[in-house]
């Protein structure tokens, strides 16, 4: 029995119970009854579990809405969310209606489906889930959680007649359910070792999975990121006949980090192509690592000009400056200062620690840390030790893949001599952290989007109670 089939039978309900989907709660209940690979401890990464034919059948039964929308496809290990956000912001600034399909969500599952930053409404979500459930039952399909979300995202974008949808892969690329689309542009962000138990143990194997989104005749944008990765991407592009351009090699690009009185510490980028010349633009998101994501976003919008999109520089750059990414270097509280960032692998944790050091003055930092057990835990802990003066280990509620906090502490003690504690849950961890910091200190919650989402929700509830 497939994961989707076994999941849909939990609690005695089956996928045929679509008649019950009359409310938003019924729609979300139906969704969560299907196999959620993001939360599964063990999953097979092959054509049986990740079946594009199943996704194509579902789309066909829904009228192939993905063929009615122009799209950009984004894959990569880190930087996808930031690149999507900056690209969306620029196009929105130019007056376009831009759909965004991203994952994971922080608090509300509807965050994954948005148009110009506004997530899908409850009524629309419910109706689209009802329609999709009817198709699932009539066609005898057994979709996963992510396939259902992808289906209603594509249908929502088609019904709302967006000018463009920017679609982020969920896992890998080659077998990802989003990989049924033929986009205007394919974008590949930074590739590194992550999900190695699924995508491969080497950087070349992981790059090959990401390169799976490359389509015949569709322009591909990436950046110079090491010979091993570049060779895989070039080989795939040549194999299918897709023009590949690398920022820093095929497209002139440079960046520098500095500080000004009005913007404080920030990066600036220059990008020059045959059709555009962007000089010394401030990157709207903090951290030196965001410079290359900004370059990819600029190159993406520039490439879309060749597909008929009109993007005057002034409104485009005004849009760029307005970019926001929830859950990334987000300061939730001021007293004590609590910052959250969904860094979920060693590369992201390292970038976070450098970013905090460059942008947020503090005396000492207490990290509230929790991650998934299938990650490179040792690598993440090593990076966290570079910035955190004290680490409080905990786990996200309701995440079966969450690593045991006591095991995290044990591994951390082998890596670093810094202070650490264990908290049984996030509220306890926040309480321990707030009692350990002074006025000029910083609390940083990181390690997974699950933990960051729970922190946002918890701190919002605390604030509401205090306002009563």
Predicted confidence (pLDDT) per residue in 91-148, tens digit = 999 999 999 999 999 999 999 999 999 999 999 999 999 999 999 999 999 999 999 9
Domain count, the chain: 2
What backbone torsions phi and psi does residue 219 show, to the nearest 5 degrees? -60, 140
Residues 91 and 214 in one domain: yes
Query: Residue 442: is its pLDDT beyond 70?
Result: yes
Claim to verify: residue 245 and residue 340 sit in the same structural domain: no
Kindly indicate the confidence band of residue 194, based on its pLDDT and cuts at 50, 70 and 90: low
With a CB cutoff of 8 Å and minimum separation 6, the contacts of 9 are none
Residues 306 and 344 grouped into a single domain:
no
Statement to judge: residues 88 and 210 lie in one domain? yes
Residue 399 pLDDT class (50, 70, 90 cuts): confident
Do 294 and 256 contact (CB within 8 A), yes or no? no
- For residues 302 and 346, membership in a common domain is answered with no
Q: Are 291 and 267 in contact (CB under 8 A)?
A: yes
> Residues 370, 314: one domain?
no
pLDDT of residue 61: 96
Nearest to 349 by CA among 308, 321, 316, 377: 377
For residue 453, how many C-alpha atoms fall within 13 Å in the half-sphere facing its CB? 17
| Nearest-angstrom CA–CA distance, 186 and 80 | 12
Question: Rounded mean pLDDT of 143-170?
Answer: 97
| C-beta of residue 234 within 8 angstroms of C-beta of residue 282 | no
Task: Determine the average pLDDT of the residues in 153-165.
Answer: 98
> Per-residue pLDDT averaged across 172-176, rounded?
90
Q: What is the rounded distance in angstroms from the CA atom of residue 356 to the CA atom of residue 379?
A: 19
To the nearest 10°, report the CA torsion of 298, 287, 342, 367.
180
3-state secondary structure of 189: coil
Q: What is the mean pLDDT of the chain?
A: 90
Q: Which residues pair with 349 in a beta bridge?
A: none
Q: How many CB atoms lie within 10 A of CB 19?
A: 11
CATH of the domain at 389: 3.90.190.20
pLDDT digits (tens, 9 = 90+) for 401-424: 899 999 999 999 999 989 999 999
Considering the domain architecture, whether residues 294 and 381 belong to the same structural domain is answered as no
Does one domain contain both 80 and 208?
Answer: yes
8 Å CB contact between 120 and 113: yes
Please, which residues have CB within 8 angstroms of residue 62's CB and are 6 or more apart in sequence?
Answer: 131, 132, 135, 151, 154, 155
277-282 β-sheet, strand order? 252-260, 264-272, 277-282
Given a contact cutoff of 8 angstroms between Cβ atoms, the answer to whether 140 and 5 are in contact is: no
What three-state secondary structure class fits 347? helix
Question: Using one digit for the tens of pLDDT, what is the confidence trace for 232-281?
Answer: 999 999 999 999 999 999 999 999 988 888 888 889 999 999 889 999 99
Do 437 and 300 fall within a single domain? no
* Cβ-based neighbour number of residue 42 at 10 Å: 8
Closest CA to 107 of 345, 401, 458: 458
Distance separating alpha carbons of residues 187 and 167, to the nearest angstrom: 10
Q: Please tell me the distance from the alpha carbon of residue 120 to that of residue 101, in angstroms, as a whole number.
A: 11
Question: Is-contact 282 259, C-beta < 8 A?
Answer: no
Pairing between strand 185-188 and 71-75? parallel
Q: What is the mean pLDDT of residues 25-34?
A: 95
DSSP assignment, residue 177? Answer: G
pLDDT at position 261: 83
Last residue of a domain, one of 262, 297, 321: 321
pTM for the predicted model, two decimal places: 0.90
Q: Say if residue 279 is exposed, middle or buried (CB neighbours under 10 Å; 0-12, 13-18, 19+).
A: exposed
Dihedral sign of CA atoms 36, 38, 44, 46 in order:
positive
Query: Could you read off the pLDDT of 356-388 as tens digits, one per residue?
Result: 988 899 999 999 999 998 888 999 999 999 989
Strands 185-188 vs 220-223: parallel, antiparallel or unpaired: parallel
Q: What local confidence, expressed as pLDDT, does residue 201 receive?
A: 73
> DSSP string spanning 33-92?
TS--GGG-SS---STTTS-HHHHHHHHHHTT-GGGGS-EEEEE-SBSHHHHHHHHHHHHH
From the list 335, 354, 334, the residue with the least C-alpha distance to 343 is 354
Q: How far apart are CA 129 and CA 24, in angstroms?
A: 9
d(CA 171, CA 178): 10
Reference 232, options 257, 268, 205, 251; nearest CA is 205
Please determine, for residue 195, whether its predicted confidence score (pLDDT) is greater than 80.
no
Furthest-apart CA atoms within the chain: distance in Å: 63
Q: Which two tokens stand for residue 31?
A: 């969704």
Tell me the per-residue pLDDT of 39-80, one tens digit each, with 9 for 90 and over. Answer: 554 555 555 566 799 999 999 999 999 999 999 999 999 899
- Predicted pLDDT at 263: 84
What is the band of 89 on the pLDDT scale with cuts at 50, 70, 90? Answer: very high
Out of 291, 321, 351, pick the residue that ends a domain.
321
If you average pLDDT over residues 201-216, what whole number do you get?
Answer: 93
Same domain, 152 and 216: yes
* pLDDT of 7 over the 90 cut: no
Q: What is the CATH number of the domain that holds 136?
A: 3.40.1190.10
What stretch of H or E contains 396? none
Same domain, 254 and 174: yes
Q: Which residues, listed in sequence order, are joined to residue 391 by a DSSP beta bridge? A: 367, 420
Q: Edge-to-edge strands of the sheet including 220-223? A: 118-119, 113-115, 98-101, 164-168, 71-75, 185-188, 220-223, 244-247
* Sign of the CA dihedral running 386, 388, 394, 397: negative
- Residues 122 and 11 both lie in one domain: yes
> 269, 299, 321: which is the final residue of a domain?
321
* Structural domain that includes position 341: 330-467
pLDDT over 80 at 37, yes or no: no
**Main-chain dihedrals φ then ψ at residue 43, nearest 5 degrees:** -150, 145
Tokens of 426: 């996030």
CB 209 within 8 A of CB 360: no
């Amino acid at each position: 029995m497939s994961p989707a089939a076994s999941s849909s039978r939990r609690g005695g309900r089956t996928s045929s119970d679509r008649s019950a989907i009359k409310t938003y709660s019924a729609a979300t209940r139906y969704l969560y009854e299907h196999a959620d690979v993001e939360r599964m401890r063990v999953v097979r990464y092959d054509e049986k579990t990740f079946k594009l034919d199943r996704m194509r059948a579902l789309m066909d039964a829904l009228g192939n809405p993905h063929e009615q929308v122009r799209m950009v496809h984004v894959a990569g290990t880190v930087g996808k969310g930031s690149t999507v956000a900056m690209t969306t912001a620029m196009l929105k600034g130019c007056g376009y209606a831009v759909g965004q399909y991203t994952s994971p969500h922080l608090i509300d599952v509807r965050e994954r489906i948005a148009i110009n930053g506004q997530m899908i409404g409850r009524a629309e979500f419910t109706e689209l889930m009802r329609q999709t459930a009817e198709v699932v039952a009539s066609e005898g399909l057994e979709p996963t959680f992510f396939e259902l979300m992808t289906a209603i995202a594509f249908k929502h974008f088609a019904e709302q007649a967006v000018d463009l949808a920017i679609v982020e892969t969920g896992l890998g690329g080659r077998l990802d359910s989003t990989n049924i689309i033929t986009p205007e542009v394919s974008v590949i962000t930074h590739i590194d070792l992550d999900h190695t138990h699924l995508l491969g143990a080497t950087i070349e194997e992981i790059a090959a999975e990401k390169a799976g989104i490359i389509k015949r005749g569709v322009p591909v944008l990436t950046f110079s990121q090491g010979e091993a990765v570049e060779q895989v991407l070039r080989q795939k592009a040549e194999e299918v006949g897709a023009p590949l351009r690398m920022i820093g090699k095929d497209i002139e690009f440079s960046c520098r980090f500095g500080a000004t009185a009005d913007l404080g510490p920030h990066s600036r980028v220059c990008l020059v192509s045959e059709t555009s010349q962007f000089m010394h633009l401030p990157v709207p998101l903090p951290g030196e690592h965001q410079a290359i994501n900004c370059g990819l976003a600029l190159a993406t919008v520039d490439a879309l000009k060749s597909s008929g999109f009109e993007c005057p520089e002034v409104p485009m750059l005004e849009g760029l400056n307005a970019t926001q990414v929830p859950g990334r270097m987000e300061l939730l509280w001021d007293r004590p200062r609590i910052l959250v960032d969904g860094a979920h692998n060693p590369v992201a944790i390292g970038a976070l620690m450098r970013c905090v050091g460059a942008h947020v003055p503090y005396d000492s930092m207490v990290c509230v840390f929790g991650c998934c057990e299938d990650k490179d835990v040792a690598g993440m802990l090593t990076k966290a030790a570079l910035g955190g003066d004290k680490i409080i280990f905990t786990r996200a509620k309701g995440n079966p893949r969450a690593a045991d906090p006591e095991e995290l502490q044990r591994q951390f003690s082998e890596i670093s001599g810094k202070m650490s504690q264990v908290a049984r849950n996030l509220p306890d961890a926040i309480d321990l952290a707030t009692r350990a910091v002074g006025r000029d200190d910083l609390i940083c919650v990181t390690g997974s989007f699950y933990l960051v989402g729970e922190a946002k929700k918890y701190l919002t509830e605390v604030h509401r109670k205090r306002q009563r």
